[in-house]
Amino acid sequence: MKKLNWGMIGGGEGSQIGPAHRLGAQADGRFTFAAGALDHRPEAGRAYAQSLGIAADRAYGDWTEMLAGEKDRDDRIDLVTVATPNATHFEIAKAFLEAGFNVLCEKPMTMTVEEGEEIVRVAKASGKICSVNYCYSAYPIVRQARAMVRNGEIGKVRLVVTNFSHGHHGDATDADNPRVRWRYDPKMAGVSGQFADCGIHALHMASFICDDEVETLSADFASTIPSRELEDDAMVNFRMAGGTVGRLWTSSVAIGRQHGFDIQIFGETGGLRWASEQPNQLIYTPVGGRTQIIEKGEGGLHEDAKRLSRVSIAHPEGFPLAVANIYCDLADAIAGETRDGLPNAEAGVRSMAAVHTAVASAKNDGAWMDARPPMFR
C-alpha cells in the first residue's frame, strides 16, 4: 500500500484538536506528516512543525505559502487537514480543492450556507475528496448501530433523541476569559454558539445512524449567561425526510456533565443507545425482549464495525482512534475504494443550513422551518 503524504493547517502547539489529528492521521502508518502551516504566528508554526519532524522547506509560515510550495512538487501532499478556527475554513478549503488537493475540514465546515454550497460545488468540479471531521461517527460501535438500522434490526425508526451537553462554560465569573468569550461573539463564532459548536455533531449523528436527512426544524435558543450574544443552550426539534421525529438538546452550562454526548434511536421493533463516555458499548433492546450490551470487538458485528475495530475486545477505544478511522477511510478513498461512511461536504453544508435555520427559528418563536440547503430542496 502506497504511503500518502499529509499536511495540516492549524493544530499548532497547545491547540485543542491538533494532537487528535496527528495521532489519528499517523495511527496506521498510512500517512506521513510531510508539511504544515500550524500556527497563526508564522515563526511559531515553522518551529513547531520542524520539532514534529517536518523538513524545514515544508514547515510553512502560513497557508498561502504552503499552497504555493506544495502545488508543483512531485511528492506533494495527498491530503490537507484544515484545523484552524471556524472563520478561516472556507477560504482555505476552497483554495486547496481548486488546486486539486483532497481536504479534511474541521467542523463547522463554513460560516454560511452559501459558502457551504460553494464548497460542495468546488469539490464536485475538482473531483477531489472533501470530508468533514464528524469523527464520532467513525467509532466502530456507531457503525454497528447504523448497520443495524440499515439492516432493519430495529424496524422503521420512529424517534431519535440526542444531546451533547457539558458544563465547561457554566461559570459566569469566567465568562470573560478570552478562551471562552470568543465562542459567544458573533464576529468570531458566526450566527450560533453552542448549536454550531456541539449541536451539529449530535444532528449529524442522528442523520448518520438513521441513514436519513433532516428536513425541517424548530429551535429554542437561550443565552443563560446574559452577557453572551450567542446561545449557550438550545433545544431543537426536527423531522427527517423518512418521517422520523427528532429531539436534540445541547448546552455548555450543564454543570456536572463532562462530555455528555449520547443518542437513543427508537424503532418499531427495538431501541438502541450509545454514549460517547462509554464508546465501546451499544445498548440494544428488541421489542418485548431483554436489554443487551453489544461490545466493540465481539463476534457477529456488521462488517463496517469489524473493519474499524483496531483495539481488541475489552480494551478502551479512544477519541483519537475515531479520528484515526476518518483517516483510514480517507486513505482508502484516495486509493479509489468506496467509503460511504466518510462524512462529506454535503454533510457539512446540511449542518450549516441547520444552524442558520435554527437561528431564524429561535428568533421567530420556534417556528417550524425548512432546514435543507437550497441545493437539496
List residues binding ligand NAI (CB under 6 A). Answer: 9-12, 15-18, 37-40, 62-63, 83-86, 88, 106-107, 133, 135
Query: Of 160, 148, 154, which is closest to residue 267 (Cα–Cα)?
Result: 154
Closest CB to ligand NAI among residues 31, 266: 31
Q: How far is the CB of 133 from ligand NAI (least distance, A)?
A: 4
Amino acid at site 246: G
The residue type found at 34 is A
CB of 60 to ligand NAI, least distance (A): 9
Instruction: Return the amino acid letter for 323.
Output: V
Residue closest to ligand NAI (Cβ): 12
From the list 366, 322, 371, 346, the residue with the least C-alpha distance to 23 is 322
Q: Which one, 278 or 285, has the nearer CB to ligand NAI?
A: 278
Report angle CA 151, 207, 190 to the nearest 5 degrees: 165
CB 373 within 8 A of CB 350: yes
Q: Which three cell numbers stand for residue 13?
A: 502547539
DSSP character for 29? S
**How would you label 131-155 residue by residue, b for 16+ Cβ within 10 Å and e otherwise?**
bbbbbbbbbbbbbbbbbbbeeebbe
Strand partners, 6: 33, 79
Q: What is the DSSP letter of 306?
A: H
**In this structure, what DSSP letter does residue 54 have?**
-
**Which residue's CB is nearer to ligand NAI, number 15 or number 278?**
15
Supply the minimum distance, in Å, between the C-beta of residue 161 and ligand NAI. 21
Task: Name the minimum Å distance from CB 106 to ligand NAI.
Answer: 4
Q: Are 180 and 156 in contact (CB under 8 A)?
A: no
Nearer CB in complex with ligand NAI: 10/270? 10
The residue assigned the cell 454560511 is 112
| Alpha-carbon span 367 to 133, nearest angstrom | 30
- In degrees and rounded to multiples of 5, residue 262 shows phi and psi of -145, 165
Whether residue 18 contacts residue 11, with contact meaning beta carbons closer than 8 Å, is answered with yes
Which DSSP helix (H) or strand (E) runs through 188? helix 186-189
